[in-house]
C-alpha cells in the first residue's frame, strides 16, 4: 500500500497543514527552495531557529523517502516522535531498538510507506544499507549536526567522516547539511567533505541578544560560583566544568548552600545520568553542574544562565554551550571565569594530542581567538559575532558595554608594543616582544641583537601579564593581526598603523592581578 500522490503540494501549504505554521522563519524558505530545485544546501542557523523544518517540509512536498542522519539516538527519537504526532510517516532504525522493530521499519521504507527515515551515520554508510537504498527513490538526504564532520572542530565524530561518500553514492539526491555552529574553517570542511563543490550556503544571524555576556577573572571559583548562583535564585542554570570531579564538587557545594543542584558527566551510570537529566528538564529551578557531555539535544526553554567555571575549548564550543540559555527569548546570562591556569591547561591539551602539526596549529589559533574574546576591551558580542564572520554594533548587553568605567587609556603602552613589532619586522610572537619590552636576557634576544634596540627594557614598569593582556586586547580590538603565516607572528593592521601614526587612541581593560600575583607583590 503506497500513499497516493495527487500532485506535489507546496512547501507553504505543508508548513500550514502539517505543522500549523503560517509563516516561514528566516532562512527556511531559501533552504526549502534549494532542495526542491535539486540543489545542495549548507544551512548554518542558530539553535531554535527551525532547522528541522528546512528538510522535513520538502521531504513531504517531494514525496518518496528522505534520509536523515543524526549523531544521537535521543535526537532522532525526539524528532521522530514529534513528526509522528503531527501525523507524518517518520521512523528510525537504530541500535537501541529490538531487531524486529528495525526490520519492520525497513519494510515500510522499502514499500514506500515512509517519508522520513532517521539513521545514524554508521548504519547509513554500510555497504548493505547503501545498496538497499540505491534501489529506492530518495527525495533528499539531511545531515544534522554537520559540524561533526570537521576533523578540526570541537565535536568531531569519526563516523561522520564516512559521510564523505554520500554524494558519490547518491549523485542525484540533494543533500542538506545543518549545524548551529560553524566558523569559516568548519564550513570549508563541510563543503569539501560532504559536497565536494556545489552548495547553496545559508548562514543566519548568530546573535542571541537576550543572552548577557560576562567574563570575570578566576579568583577562587567556588566562592565565585556560590555568589553567582545565589544572585540568581529560583532559576534553572547550567554550570560547565572541565572535569568530572569538579562537576561533583560544584554540585555538592551548591547543595550545601541549599540549592537544588545535580551533577552530570560521562563517568556516571546511565541510570543516574538519565535521572539527573530528567530532573533538570522537568523540575523547576535545578542547577546542573556538568561536563560538555551534557548539552547536545537539551531543549529546555527556560535555562536562565550558563556559568563556565572553566575555560571552554574554543569560541565555537562556547557559543554552542551558552546557546542553551534563554531559548525562550527572555533575559539570560552567560558568565565565564577566565584564569591563566585554564589557558595553560588548554595549551597542554592541544600539545599532547596525537595529531598533525597542522591540527595543533589550528587548535592554538582557535584558543587565541577565545582568549581574545575573554580579554576584549570593547563589546564582547561584537568580538563573538566577528569570529563567526558577522558584523555587529555595540550591544549594550555585555560587561564591556555595561561597565566601560573599567577601561583606561593605554595609548602610550599600545604605541610601545606596535612600534617594537614594526621595527622587528612583524614576525615575532607576543612572548618575544614582551621579553624585549621587559629587557629580558634570552638567547633569542642576544642572537637577534634585540638588546641593542631602542626600546629594549622600556616596559620594565609593567608586568609580563599586563603586557600579555594588552597584546590580547590589541588583537581582539583589531589593531594587531595574529599568526597569518602560521608561526604565531604578530603584525600591524591598518588600525594599528593609525595608532602608530598618532591618529587614534586605545582604551584597555585594566589587568586585574590574580591572587598569586597579589601575594607575590606583598
The residue within the footprint of ligand ADP, chosen from 9, 12, 18, 25 (CB under 6 A), is 25
Beta carbon nearer to Zn ion, 398 or 480: 398
* Residue 73 Cβ vs ligand ADP, minimum distance, rounded to whole Å: 17
Site membership for Zn ion, residue 401 (CB under 5 A) = yes
The residue within the footprint of ligand ADP, chosen from 45, 369, 370, 440 (CB under 6 A), is 45
Site membership for Zn ion, residue 215 (CB under 5 A) = no
Which residues make beta-bridge pairs with 290? Answer: 240, 264
Mark 4-21 as b/e (b = at least 16 C-beta within 10 Å).
eeeeebebbebbeebbee
Site membership for ligand ADP, residue 50 (CB under 6 A) = yes
Site membership for ligand ADP, residue 24 (CB under 6 A) = yes
Question: Is residue 333 left, alpha or beta, with left meaning phi > 0 and alpha meaning psi from -120 to 50?
Answer: beta
381, interface contact from ligand ADP, Zn ion, none, CB < 5-8 Å by kind: Zn ion
* Residue 70 Cβ vs ligand ADP, minimum distance, rounded to whole Å: 11
Longest Cα–Cα distance in the chain: 87
* Residue 47 Cβ vs ligand ADP, minimum distance, rounded to whole Å: 4
Beta carbon nearer to ligand ADP, 178 or 287: 178
* Cα distance between residue 324 and residue 303, in whole Å: 7
The residue within the footprint of Zn ion, chosen from 140, 238, 386, 398 (CB under 5 A), is 398
Q: Which of residues 51-80 bind ligand ADP (CB under 6 A)?
A: 51-53
The residue within the footprint of ligand ADP, chosen from 9, 12, 48, 458 (CB under 6 A), is 48
384, interface contact from Zn ion, ligand ADP, none, CB < 5-8 Å by kind: none
- Give the list of residues 6+ apart from residue 209 with CB closer than 8 angstroms, or none: 381, 395, 397
- Give the list of residues 6+ apart from residue 391 with CB closer than 8 angstroms, or none: 385
* Cα distance between residue 8 and residue 142, in whole Å: 20
Q: Are 414 and 508 in contact (CB under 8 A)?
A: yes
The residue within the footprint of Zn ion, chosen from 232, 381, 482, 509 (CB under 5 A), is 381
* Cα distance between residue 23 and residue 35, in whole Å: 18
Place of cell 558519490: 168
Stretch that binds ligand ADP, among 21-29, 151-159, 262-270, 346-354 (CB under 6 A): 21-29
In 339-445, DSSP assigns E strands to: 407-409
* Residue 393 Cβ vs Zn ion, minimum distance, rounded to whole Å: 9
Site membership for ligand ADP, residue 208 (CB under 6 A) = no
If one counts every other C-beta atom within 10 angstroms of the C-beta of residue 103, the result is 11
The residue within the footprint of Zn ion, chosen from 225, 369, 379, 418 (CB under 5 A), is 379
401, interface contact from Zn ion, ligand ADP, none, CB < 5-8 Å by kind: Zn ion
Which residues make beta-bridge pairs with 60? Answer: none
* Residue 9 Cβ vs ligand ADP, minimum distance, rounded to whole Å: 16
Strands of the 261-264 sheet, one edge to the other: 211-217, 332-338, 303-308, 236-240, 287-290, 261-264
Comparing CA positions, the residue from 55, 119, 110 lying closest to residue 88 is 55
398, interface contact from ligand ADP, Zn ion, none, CB < 5-8 Å by kind: Zn ion
* Residue 486 Cβ vs ligand ADP, minimum distance, rounded to whole Å: 34
Beta carbon nearer to Zn ion, 379 or 476: 379
The residue within the footprint of Zn ion, chosen from 36, 67, 241, 395 (CB under 5 A), is 395
* Residue 45 Cβ vs ligand ADP, minimum distance, rounded to whole Å: 6
Site membership for ligand ADP, residue 39 (CB under 6 A) = no
Angle at 377 between CA 371 and CA 380, to 5 degrees: 70
Helix (H) / strand (E) containing 337: strand 332-338
Q: Are 61 and 8 in contact (CB under 8 A)?
A: yes
Phi, psi of 417 (to 5 degrees): -65, -50
Comparing CA positions, the residue from 169, 165, 142 lying closest to residue 62 is 142
* Residue 511 Cβ vs Zn ion, minimum distance, rounded to whole Å: 20
Helix, strand, or coil (residue 46): coil
Point out the residue whose Cβ comes nearest to ligand ADP. 50
Beta carbon nearer to ligand ADP, 24 or 206: 24
* Residue 329 Cβ vs ligand ADP, minimum distance, rounded to whole Å: 12
**DSSP code string of 401-420:** HH-GGGEEE-HHHHHHHHHH
Beta carbon nearer to Zn ion, 381 or 509: 381
The residue within the footprint of ligand ADP, chosen from 40, 49, 314, 368 (CB under 6 A), is 49
379, interface contact from ligand ADP, Zn ion, none, CB < 5-8 Å by kind: Zn ion
* Cα distance between residue 117 and residue 108, in whole Å: 10
* Cα distance between residue 163 and residue 385, in whole Å: 29
Beta carbon nearer to ligand ADP, 51 or 482: 51
List contacts with Zn ion (CB under 5 A).
379, 381, 395, 398, 401
Question: Which residues here bind ligand ADP, judged by CB under 6 A?
Answer: 21, 23-25, 28, 45, 47-53
Amino acid at each position: 500500500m503506497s500513499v497516493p500522490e495527487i500532485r506535489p503540494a507546496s512547501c507553504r501549504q505543508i508548513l500550514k497543514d502539517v505543522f500549523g505554521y503560517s509563516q516561514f522563519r528566516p532562512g527556511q524558505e531559501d533552504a526549502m527552495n534549494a532542495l526542491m530545485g535539486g540543489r545542495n544546501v549548507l544551512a548554518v542557523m542558530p539553535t531554535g531557529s527551525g532547522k528541522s523544518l528546512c528538510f522535513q517540509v520538502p521531504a513531504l512536498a517531494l514525496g518518496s523517502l528522505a534520509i536523515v542522519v543524526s549523531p544521537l539516538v535521543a535526537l532522532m527519537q525526539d524528532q521522530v516522535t514529534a513528526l509522528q504526532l503531527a501525523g507524518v510517516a517518520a521512523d528510525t532504525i537504530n541500535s537501541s531498538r529490538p531487531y524486529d522493530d528495525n526490520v519492520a521499519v525497513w519494510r515500510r521504507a522499502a514499500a514506500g510507506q515512509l517519508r522520513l527515515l532517521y539513521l545514524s551515520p554508521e548504519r547509513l554508510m554500510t555497504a548493505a544499507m547503501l545498496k538497499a537504498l540505491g534501489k529506492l527513490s530518495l527525495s533528499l538526504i539531511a545531515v544534522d549536526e554537520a559540524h561533526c564532520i570537521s576533523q578540526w572542530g570541537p565535536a568531531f565524530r569519526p563516523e561522520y567522516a564516512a559521510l564523505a561518500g554520500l554524494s558519490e553514492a547518491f549523485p542525484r539526491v540533494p543533500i542538506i547539511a545543518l549545524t548551529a555552529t560553524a566558523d569559516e574553517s568548519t564550513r570549508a570542511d563541510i563543503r569539501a567533505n560532504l559536497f565536494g563543490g556545489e552548495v547553496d550556503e545559508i548562514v543566519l544571524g548568530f546573535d542571541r541578544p537576550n543572552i548577557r555576556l560576562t567574563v570575570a577573572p578566576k579568583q577562587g571559583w567556588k566562592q565565585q560560583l556560590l555568589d553567582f548562583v545565589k544572585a540568581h535564585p529560583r532559576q534553572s542554570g547550567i554550570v560547565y566544568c572541565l572535569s568530572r570531579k569538579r562537576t561533583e564538587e560544584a554540585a555538592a557545594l551548591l547543595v550545601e548552600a541549599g540549592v537544588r543542584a545535580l551533577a552530570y558527566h560521562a563517568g556516571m551510570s546511565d541510570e543516574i545520568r538519565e535521572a539527573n537529566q530528567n530532573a533538570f528538564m522537568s523540575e523547576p529551578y535545578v542547577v546542573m553542574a556538568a561536563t560538555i557531555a551534557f548539552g547536545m539535544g537539551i531543549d529546555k526553554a527556560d535555562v536562565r544562565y550558563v556559568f563556565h567555571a572553566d575555560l571552554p575549548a574554543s569560541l565555537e564550543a562556547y557559543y554552542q554551550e551558552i546557546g542553551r540559555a534563554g531559548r525562550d527569548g527572555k533575559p539570560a546570562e552567560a558568565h565565564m571565569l577566565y584564569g591563566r591556569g585554564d589557558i595553560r591547561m588548554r595549551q597542554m591539551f592541544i600539545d599532547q594530542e596525537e595529531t598533525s602539526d597542522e591540527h595543533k596549529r589550528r587548535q592554538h589559533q582557535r584558543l587565541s581567538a577565545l582568549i581574545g574574546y575573554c580579554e576584549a576591551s570593547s563589546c564582547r558580542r561584537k568580538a563573538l559575532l566577528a569570529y563567526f564572520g558577522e558584523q555587529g554594533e555595540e550591544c549594550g548587553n555585555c560587561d564591556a558595554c555595561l561597565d566601560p568605567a573599567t577601561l583606561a587609556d593605554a595609548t602610550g603602552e599600545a604605541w610601545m608594543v606596535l612600534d617594537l613589532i614594526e621595527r622587528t619586522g612583524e614576525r615575532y610572537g607576543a612572548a618575544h616582544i614582551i621579553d624585549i619590552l621587559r629587557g629580558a636576557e634570552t638567547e633569542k634576544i642576544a642572537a637577534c641583537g634585540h638588546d641593542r634596540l631602542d626600546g629594549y627594557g622600556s616596559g620594565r614598569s609593567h608586568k609580563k601579564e599586563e603586557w600579555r593582556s594588552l597584546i590580547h586586547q590589541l588583537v581582539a580590538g583589531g589593531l594587531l593581526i595574529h599568526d597569518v603565516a602560521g608561526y604565531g607572528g604578530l603584525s600591524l593592521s591598518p588600525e594599528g598603523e593609525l595608532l602608530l601614526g598618532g591618529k587614534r587612541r586605545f582604551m584597555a581593560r585594566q589587568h586585574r592581578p590574580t591572587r598569586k600575583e597579589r601575594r607575590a607583590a606583598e
